[in-house]
Amino acid sequence: METFQTLLANKLSDALAKAGLPTAGELTPATDARFGDYQTNAALVLGKQRGENPKALAEKILADIDISDLCEPPTVAGAGFINFTLRSDAVAKKAGELLPDERLGVANAKSTKKIVIDFGSPNVAKPMHVGHIRSTVLGDALARIASFLGHEVIRDNHIGDWGTQFGMVIYGWKNLLDRQSLQRDPLAEIVRIYKETNEKATSDPQVREACRQELVKLQAGDKENIDIWNECVAFSMQDFEHVYRLLDIRFDIQCGESFYNDRLPAVVDRLLKSGIGEISEGAVCVFFRDIPQLVDRPCIIRKRDGGFNYATTDVATVDYRINDLKADTVWIVTGAPQILHFQQIFEIARREGYKADFRHITHGSILGEDRKLMKTRSGENVPLRELLDEACKRARKIIEEKNPDLSEEDKIDIAQKIGIGAVKYADLSQYRMTDYVFSWDRMLSLQGNTAPYLQNAYVRIRSIFRKAGEPAPKIDKLILRDPSEINLAKRLCQFAEIVPQVLNDFRPNILANYLFELANSLHTFYEACPVLKSDEPVRSSRLALCDLSGHVLQRGLDLLGIKVPEKM
């Protein structure tokens, strides 16, 4: 099923060819509804290229365009924009085609890929904190949308389960551990012994050396240390799983850094043999002398003491994803501070001859009300589990004020959907590179661009059907008379245009903002058009329009990882 945008773009392309003009400019939704529904800057672009009057070119293009089945006669505005307004009967026909369509008009991608999406990536022996929200919900939304568009997606949680901190954790485990505290709250106890050891190691060289020795023993495969490490990993994974269950996020593979340990020597040997790596001051490095921003930033892949590091593991991870998982596309969703690191890793992959499409999808930070990185009063990172529990508690309070008669089971379920949805949407409705201020009042508000506002729009639709006491009628064609219902139907037809755009620059906020505009159009429609009190056949048409709106809201929010309650 072709969208209006595709149909008009094809007709425009034909008209340009008939007029002897090359394809130019683009056809986009109009920025202002007063000028119509779509517009093209083709005449402006051609005018600049050819040194001709854009308005005259626009008239020449329009002389050869045949869109009477879709649009009112097009108009030329400003310096030469061509504007198109859809005919209401064309909108009614297209929206009617969406009624039985489970995909709501969204076509599969023309060429599908096998994509590994690396997101989440918490560190073992530390609780997940508020800083993990962005990578986790952004990666999940992109995975959902890519899967929906027909790509084969492998969700990879690349867990930080190896490294120097384990020398301190193992020393603390052997010398400072309180077994009762470990049973009560394992992760809190592991964090305590790590911090205490870190403080001791800072002031006492003997403790520092003892920690180093514990790390060497771990890396050499000492049984006692491996057993302690395995326990720490298991406790951490339990904690992560609790958070992921709350967030309704799943992974296909969770390969920690340790998974790649036995591959690291071969990585270094291969890079040395190929000449990509070279020995410099006793370390093995890759230099980027031809890349200005990396000229003075070599990538160390084996340290002077023979140890491997984060970069070595990441090169091995690239090998695994391309050779073992057979991916042709790799998306890594992490914060902006890692930009240079992944430039290095992707450049090494290119030099090794990997043809995959590598993308580092970066994001900004979450700020507290003081516009600084969000921390607790004592300056610690805010634990993610506590933050999500708080979201559910606050949502519960709102529900109890609004609908106190709900059952306990319903209150728990709805509070979770609203609270978790609010946290996710507050993040995904922002452009991913924007830092944003975390505000409970704003994100849980039933007004404005928030998840509860969108969820409430869906609940309102369901309540209409509860009052009607009947399912949505099966009809072949919508009847659109009022401007508000024509506008709502147009919005619904745009869903199929919006969803594929999200992956162009990895921007779920485009979908979030579309859903907000859809909810606003729905609100205007309710105010202007009675549904249940209308006479037939208008009543059935409006019920069908409400039902379609509910499906689009539900599907759109689901693609963002947000659930909708049936009542609030």
Domain with CATH 3.30.1360.70 in the chain: 4-86
% of residues, the chain, pLDDT over 70: 99
Domain with CATH 1.10.730.10 in the chain: 451-559
User: Please, which residues bridge with residue 535 across strands?
Assistant: none
Phi, psi of 486, deg, nearest 5 = -65, -45
Give CATH for domain 451-559: 1.10.730.10
Q: For 491-534, write each residue's pLDDT tens digit.
A: 999 999 999 999 999 999 999 999 999 999 999 999 999 999 99
3-state helix, strand, coil in the chain (%, to 5): 55, 10, 35
Catalogue the long-range contacts made by 290-293 (C-beta closer than 8 Å, 24 or more residues apart). 291/343, 291/347, 293/340, 293/343
Task: Name the pLDDT band for 113 (thresholds 50, 70, 90).
Answer: very high
pLDDT score, position 494: 97
Query: To 10 degrees, what angle do helices 508-528 and 538-559 make?
Result: 160
Phi, psi of 454, deg, nearest 5 = -70, -40
**Which positions ≥6 away from 401 have C-beta within 8 Å?**
none
Q: Shortest CA distance to 490 belongs to which of 30, 21, 53?
A: 30
Q: Looking at domain 4-86, which of 3.40.50.150, 3.30.1360.70, 2.30.42.10, 1.20.1090.10 is its CATH number?
A: 3.30.1360.70
Phi, psi of 89, deg, nearest 5 = -70, -30
pTM: 0.94
Give the burial string for 287-312 (b: 16+ CB within 10 Å, else e): bbeeeeebeeebbbbbeeeeebbebb
What does the alpha-carbon distance between residue 421 and residue 415 come to, in Å, rounded to a whole number?
9
The mean per-residue pLDDT over the stretch 106-124 comes to 95
Q: For 516-527, write each residue's pLDDT tens digit.
A: 999 999 999 999
